[in-house]
Structure 1
């Protein structure tokens, strides 16, 4: 059975020898395109419109359109609104509550599609994202939703916002949620910045002293009777490294009393400042120190020999000692 609503019909004109031609029989062209009686080629007669097939097509398409219409053209409500334009919530609060109101159609069941959308606040970092269907039952005039807020510990940030949108309400109205930051412990920030600054300078000094000790040691090892000032310089450098090592460990222990997030921000800020000022050696030494410090904060395991070895590899330049014991 053909599913085409319009079909071409053909006839045979071999009236003298064909019964189909004498009976003026019309038929659809066969696969061979020849008359079934006389095998003469068929000639086009007319287009035939099939009412039954056309009606079937119309019925199928209408059913498909009816079923797919809500998907492609979802129903939009006009009677749902937020309780206000903006809701403020303290970052320290666990959740923010937002209320929706229904003004008409109170006797109906209505399902509202609601989603959250990032602004300056980011989902999974500052709040928990939502993508839900909220259903109003007959008689209900308002609904409330709760959205969890994720605090940023003691890290300073500006106030942040995100949006709640109603997808199947006309105009897709949105509501702003403003997360008011809890503020920052300035004393904690100052302590973190000071500790990072001291550690940064100490790491750079250690890197330079370790390289100087290496070069002096190599130089002295080639001399049978080295000058006294060279030996003295070598020993002074050893003492400097030992004192700096002890202070390095003390500062690492002091870091245990600080907030790790604030400390990480202080490290990043200090590194950025060193990079801008093009203090290359101190920048590299501070980068190594940062990795050591963060590892120590998580493991609480001191490993000063390894730390010194890593800092000693920061200075890559070839240097030499002159006769006065100075590294050049």
Structure 2
């Protein structure tokens, strides 16, 4: 697999983006300052990877599943559809206009761009950007993450729709991550009100014990990740026992392998949780099989796994 590092950074001012029905330079795409998106955090989004295939061409990965989740998020947050059925065509046009030929990342958002009080009727704007993105350092450099189990919790479904990928959900996650990094960690894991380990701020948690893969259940309020759905599906293809299961601190500490997965992150192995190092790291045979299969599929070198996304397990 390619190990091109992630260049970071957003779209340049001259890059073309799609915003509110038009293709425009990135520095001309804006929400009004009194928009409900800025006042109340009324915006949902998706991140989609585009991969260069071995036979040529740059193609979005699991786009249909991401659009399905976007529709679910819009419904949950009461945002009207601004035309998400056009997303595939928009992504293709942006890829051409911006001259992209290698791995990239697409961000799709639906935001309440009109003014009004919190209960006012909403007008939605669709925004799509595509920019180059390679591997994060965890894959590019085969590094392992040091994670902190945070005192901050993932909100429960009694607080807000946890299956919605809403920007408002990330404010607390950002605080938790900054707190962990200030303490010298690479990242953190949020918990649940019941004391279970839930997820990282922007990625799904997976553990492996005696060859069996586990990931927190959606009933614990974790985001129903598209990559999570792919991992559970591909484990069936690879003959790896896998199922959603509650993960507590002891189970996390006893794991043979721990990794995070998500669209932007792709995959990252974990070498330590708080003060405890994982004795078997860097040996991660199950994780390695999953990662190898992932890149074989996205490059078109292996049949794509049939993935069904759902807001429930």
Normalised TM-score (structure 1): 0.19
User: Comparing both structures, which one devotes a greater share of its residues to helix?
Assistant: 1
Normalised TM-score (structure 2): 0.20
Higher-RCO chain (CA-CA 8 Å, sequence separation at least 6)? 2
User: Comparing both structures, which one devotes a greater share of its residues to strand?
Assistant: 2
